Amino acid sequence: MGLELLAELIAEGSVVVLSGAGLSTESGIPDYRGATGRARRSEPMTYQAFLGGVEARRRYWARSHLGWRALTGAAPNDGHRAVAELQRRGLVSGIITQNVDGLHQAAGAREVIELHGGLDRVVCLGCGERTPRVRLDARLQAANPGWADLVGAAVGGRVNPDGDARVGDEHVHDFRIVDCSSCGGVLKPDVIFFGENVPRPRVDSCFALTAAAGLLLVLGSSLTVRSGYRFVARATELGIPVAIVNQGPTRADTEATISLDAPLGATLGTLLSGLGKSGAERLIPGGKG
């Protein structure tokens, strides 16, 4: 009955998707709190620590330089493709993602709001210039020839959703970092660190999307962090239905109109197939009436 109700809600259109790390696990990127993420989370880099000293930045960029390879090798899965197709059909009116992996866009989705930024960009904290991550990657490779291959073989492919590979301090001390090629300033990934605020205009855009939604569809997020949960709270306050598809419990299960504990790719694939004729007709016996 749960899938039928979800199909009916989506068939009404004006769906705003709020996605989390669980949507990308089938692309080989582990989440933080689900089955693939347990005991994998190392101490996260905070914004304050990153600004506080070169050694913290060295640790971050060494781990991220290695983790970047895992993320760039990931491909969109059935869940990402289903969201992009629902948008193409006019049923999804907006996408808010807590992920920084760019897989929604790689699947063909348009105008995705990256709540926490994207790892494919780098920003200079001095002059504000934004540059592609591939450019920085090439500079780091030149400054650390052979390091990624050597350390990658030693530590394996353990990487978190934010691109943070699990690299021990013994592999970090000789890693060379680089500064902005334009002004010599400190380079930072264009993502939101712990202890850093999401820019207010971005938050306001997400609230505006939520307020105009016919349905808020949460995909692959436990909603533990307030950053994403606040949009569920706003939808509930406005009387907008909330549907959740996630593996494992979430913070908003009791508030949701429907909450499915199910694999994302298979569930969204089945849902998409069922919406292929006319709305939810193939999934709901007798259609919508």
| Residues 107 and 216 occupy one common structural domain | yes
Q: Which amino acid is at 127?
A: C
- Identify the sign of the CA torsion 47, 51, 53, 56: positive
Confidence class for position 158, pLDDT limits 50, 70, 90: low
Is 247 annotated among the ligand-binding residues? yes
3-class secondary structure, 97:
strand
Other Cβ atoms less than 10 A from the Cβ of 267: the count is 22
Q: Is residue 171 annotated as part of the catalytic site, yes or no?
A: no
**Residues of the domain holding 289:** 1-29+77-116+197-289
Confidence class for position 285, pLDDT limits 50, 70, 90: very low
What's the total number of domains in the chain? 2
Is 218 annotated among the ligand-binding residues? no
Is 267 annotated among the ligand-binding residues? no
Could you give the CA distance from residue 144 to residue 142 in angstroms, rounded to a whole number?
6
User: Would the pLDDT of 35 be above 50?
Assistant: no
Is 221 annotated among the ligand-binding residues? yes
The number of angstroms, rounded, from the C-alpha of 222 to the middle of its chain's C-alpha atoms is 12
| Residues 88 and 133 occupy one common structural domain | no
Report pLDDT digits (tens) over 201-237.
Answer: 999 999 999 999 999 999 999 999 899 999 999 999 9
Query: What is Dmax (Cα atoms) for the chain?
Result: 68
Residue 34 lies in a domain: no
Q: How many helices (H) and strands (E) does the chain have?
A: 10, 9
Could you give the CA distance from residue 84 to residue 137 in angstroms, rounded to a whole number?
29
| Residues 109 and 237 occupy one common structural domain | yes
| Residues 69 and 144 occupy one common structural domain | yes
Confidence class for position 161, pLDDT limits 50, 70, 90: low
Task: Give me the percent of the chain exceeding a pLDDT of 70.
Answer: 87
Is 127 annotated among the ligand-binding residues? yes
| Residues 18 and 61 occupy one common structural domain | no
Residue 35 lies in a domain: no
| Residues 52 and 182 occupy one common structural domain | yes
The number of angstroms, rounded, from the C-alpha of 277 to the middle of its chain's C-alpha atoms is 30
Other Cβ atoms less than 10 A from the Cβ of 229: the count is 19
Residue 2 lies in a domain: yes
Query: Residues 65, 80, 116, 171: which is the catalytic one?
Result: 116
